[in-house]
Structures are given as C-alpha cells and as structure tokens.
C-alpha cells in the first residue's frame, strides 16, 4: 500500500512523525511525505528532523504566504501533479490547515481516497479558516480517525458515520515521546533561569488577539499584573512583537520575561515544568492537559471542550478577568487523570487499521 502524506506546518510534522516512525518499520506500507511549505519555519533545518527523529519530506513545494485562496489554489495545482506521478492508494492529511484542505481536495477530485487524522473537531466558529478546512475535509474523507468521543459525535451530527474510528489523540503520543526526549535533551530551564513550577508560560499569537488593539492591550495589561507576583515567561511570536511595537509597548520596563521563539523540545520542556500556562494556541492548551498543567485559554471557544469540562482549562472570554481567573485557578485542586485522549497508542491503532482494513 502506498500513501502520500500532505503536511504544511511544524505541528503537523510532529503529528505525522508519530505515525511515520511506525510506517518506516512496516514493510506493508510505503509513505511519500509532501511538505507544502505553508508555514516557513527557520527551525525546520536538518537538525530539526534529526533531533525529533522525523523523516524529511520527499517533496517540498515552497508555497507560503499569500491569501487563503491563493495559497490553497497553488497547493491544489502542485499536489495534483504529485498524485498523478506517485499514484498512491491513499492520501493522508492531518488537522485543519490550508495544506490539509488542499491535499484532501486534490485527492478527492481524482478519486484517490482520503484519510483524515484529527477528524471531527469543531469550534463552531465558521469565521475561523481552520473550522472551514476541517469541516470540508471531513466531508470528503473516506476514513476518519477521530481523537475523542465528542469528535465522533460531531461527525455523526453531520451525517458522517462510516469508517469513523476513535483512536485517541496523536498529539498525546507525541507528548509522551517528546516529553521524555525533552527531559534528556533540553536545557531550557537552565538557559532561562527557571525551576520546576516557579513560572507561568504564556503564548500569544492568534490574529484575533494580535490584530485587535483593544484585545492586545487588555491581554498584556493583565499579564503585566500577574508578572508582578509570578515569573511570566513569553516566547515572543514575530506577529505579536510587531503588533506590540505598533502600540508602542514599553518592552524596557515590562515585568514580563520575553524570550525568542524556542524549538519544539525546549517548548515541551517549558510546558511540562510550568506552574500554569496562559495561551491562545489550540495545541498548547491541549498539551497543557497532557503534561498535567492548569491552563487559561485566551479565546472565545475551544475545540478541546473535554479539557474545559474536566476543569483543567478555563476559557477567558472577558480578557479583563485574566488575573481573577489566574488567582481562582491557582487555588483549585485539579484532576488530570481522566482518560480523555486515549492511551498514547494512537499511531499504532492507526497503523493497525491501515494494514488490516485498507491494504
């Protein structure tokens, strides 16, 4: 069986790596990895692939930037060429990026069945490009690997019930694997003068927060207040830095400890050892749960409703209450023992299904 895997952003490489490592040891499956180039990342060097034990892509399309339509259209053209050349039995896509949708559309239109990993996630916010991408991809996929029971239920509500398999979350596999690797290979805590449980890790990068001046000011005003009593460390995303410079933010007198963006293993180490995480990232809020760290999410909704229902993740709709919610969360005793995302064997379950049902 031959599979073409389409990925376009660093988080997708992390997800794909958990499955690709097992495929490499399976003579029944031949995988060709295509990187669309959707997110340029200077950290994705040879060291990145070697350090994280990730197979390098066979194709790199270099399609980054531009509008959503332009980007997706160019990807469609180039991916279709590759599919005609490689003639795979299946196309495998992950998550909800433009690369995900382009890969699924290119395959579906020439009648190559699509496998979607992370199927069934819903924010119910159709203004999000990611929501549009994931819904469209789910409806043209032939096999849907869902990460949670809620995701399966979401698909059923939309009439998708065939070949839907709840395998757990592939990112939980990654968290376990790379968490152990980070413990051995990351010096992040020493590099930044941190200790286990003595700092708040913060990330802010989503356009809804950086591009809205009022939201941005409220977020950083609240973070400054927390940073007067707790060490707040914030890897500064280029988009966020530019936005803060646009409002004349006083970096010199800030109580927040800003650092440059960090590599994946260092980020895992910072997540694992934090007292709390404050973020607007979908991936980071879920990884907080994996690493048993309380989380405040700076968004109006989340795809990971299970973490909220478990009381371990609080959605901050009113940004003026970040300090209040932080103080409240520090006093709570949380239970991270619920088996929300599988047993950390998602990749193996997917491989078993591919081998037993699709060969």
**Average pLDDT over the chain, rounded to an integer:** 93
Mean pLDDT value across residues 125-137: 93
pLDDT of 284 over the 90 cut: yes
205 in catalytic set: yes
> What is the rounded (10 degree) CA torsion for 157, 163, 164, 169?
-160
- Residue 335: φ, ψ to 5°: -115, 110
Mean pLDDT value across residues 277-300: 95
Mean pLDDT value across residues 113-132: 94
The answer, as to whether pTM is greater than 0.85, is yes
pLDDT band at 228 (very low <50, low <70, confident <90, very high): very high
What's the pLDDT score for residue 250?
A: 95
**337 or 81: which leads in pLDDT:** 81
pLDDT of 46 over the 70 cut: no
Per-residue pLDDT tens for 265-275?
999 999 999 99
pLDDT of 51 over the 80 cut: no
User: In the β-sheet with 313-315, what is the strand arrangement from edge to edge?
Assistant: 257-259, 231-235, 199-203, 276-279, 295-297, 313-315
Calculate what percentage of the chain has a pLDDT beyond 90: 81
For the 177-330 domain, the top CATH level (class) is alpha beta
pLDDT band at 102 (very low <50, low <70, confident <90, very high): very high
For the 2-169+342-358 domain, the top CATH level (class) is alpha beta
Per-residue pLDDT tens for 191-210?
999 999 999 999 999 989 99
Task: Give the domain ranges of the chain.
Answer: 2-169+342-358, 177-330
Task: State the alpha helices, DSSP H only, in 25-109.
Answer: 46-51, 68-86, 98-109
Distance from CA of residue 49 to its chain's centroid?
18
Mean pLDDT value across residues 221-228: 98
Asked whether the CA dihedral 309, 310, 314, 315 is positive or negative, the reply is negative
Which of the following is catalytic: 205, 237, 291, 314?
A: 205
pLDDT of 45 over the 60 cut: no
What's the pLDDT score for residue 292?
A: 96
Mean pLDDT value across residues 252-272: 94
Mean pLDDT value across residues 56-81: 92
Per-residue pLDDT tens for 333-343?
999 998 899 99
pLDDT of 330 over the 70 cut: yes
Calculate what percentage of the chain has a pLDDT beyond 70: 97
Please determine whether the domains at 2-169+342-358 and 177-330 fall in the same fold group of CATH.
yes
């Amino acid at each position: 069986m031959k599979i073409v895997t389409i990925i376009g952003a660093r988080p997708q490489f992390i997800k794909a790596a958990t499955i690709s490592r097992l495929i490499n040891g399976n003579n029944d499956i031949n995988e060709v990895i295509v990187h669309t180039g959707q997110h340029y990342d200077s950290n994705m060097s040879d060291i990145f692939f070697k350090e994280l034990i990730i197979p390098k892509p066979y194709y790199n399309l270099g399609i980054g930037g531009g509008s959503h339509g332009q980007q997706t259209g160019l990807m469609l053209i180039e991916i279709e060429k590759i599919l005609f050349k490689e003639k795979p039995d299946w196309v495998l896509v992950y998550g909800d990026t433009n690369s995900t949708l382009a890969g699924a559309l290119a395959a579906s239109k020439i009648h190559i069945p699509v496998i979607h990993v992370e199927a069934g996630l819903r924010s119910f916010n159709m203004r999000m490009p990611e929501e549009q991408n994931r819904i469209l991809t789910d409806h043209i996929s032939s096999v849907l690997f869902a990460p949670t029971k809620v995701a399966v239920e979401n698909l059923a509500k939309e009439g998708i019930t065939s070949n839907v398999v709840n395998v757990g979350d592939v990112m939980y596999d990654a968290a376990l694997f790379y968490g152990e690797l980070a413990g051995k290979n990351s010096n992040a805590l020493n590099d930044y003068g941190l200790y286990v449980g003595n700092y708040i890790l913060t990330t802010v990068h989503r356009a809804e927060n950086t591009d809205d001046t009022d939201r941005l000011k409220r977020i950083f005003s609240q973070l400054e207040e927390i940073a007067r009593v707790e060490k707040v460390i914030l890897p500064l995303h280029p988009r966020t830095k530019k936005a803060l410079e646009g409002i004349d933010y006083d970096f010199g007198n800030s109580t927040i400890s800003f650092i440059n963006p960090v590599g994946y293993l260092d980020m895992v180490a910072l997540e694992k050892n934090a007292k709390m995480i404050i973020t607007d990232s979908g991936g980071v809020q879920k990884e907080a749960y994996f690493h048993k760290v309380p989380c405040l999410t700076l968004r109006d909704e989340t795809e990971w409703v299970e973490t909220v229902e478990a009381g371990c993740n609080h959605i901050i709709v009113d940004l003026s209450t970040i300090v209040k919610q932080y103080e409240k969360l520090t006093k709570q005793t949380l239970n991270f023992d619920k088996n929300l995302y599988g047993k950390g064997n998602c990749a193996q379950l997917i491989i078993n299904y591919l081998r037993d049902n699709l060969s």
